[in-house]
Amino acid sequence: SLFEFSRLARRGIHGRVTDFRGTGLEGARISVESVDKDVKVRHMMGWYWRPLVMGNYNITASKDGYYNLTRRNIVISEEEPYVNVDFTLISKTQFPVNK
């Protein structure tokens, strides 16, 4: 039914991808381990939304020029169907890693 579809459509994760100053990172990618399709952040303030079914997920935010950040064990459940997951990415040029 349409009601069931709208209920399921509100499951997943949402949040912002920013740099350490709080600037939105439009163009960043949200990847979910074991899910083939990435979501691209299209909002200038860094907001994103990613529908997901119930389960336990490892979620990575990435953008060229920044270090990737993975949040592990994010649980989507009946009790918590819509989870906020924010990411703060660190610039590789501002904080280079010595090799």
**Average pLDDT in the 73-83 region?**
93
pLDDT mean across residues, the chain: 90
Contact status, residue 83 vs residue 76, Cβ threshold 8 Å: yes
Verdict on whether the full-model pTM lies above 0.75? yes
Paired sense of beta strands 29-32 and 39-40, if any: antiparallel
List, for residues 3-35, the tens digit of each pLDDT value.
454 555 578 999 999 999 999 999 999 999 999
Percent of the chain residues topping a pLDDT of 70 = 90
pLDDT at 5: 47
Place of tokens 């935010």: 61
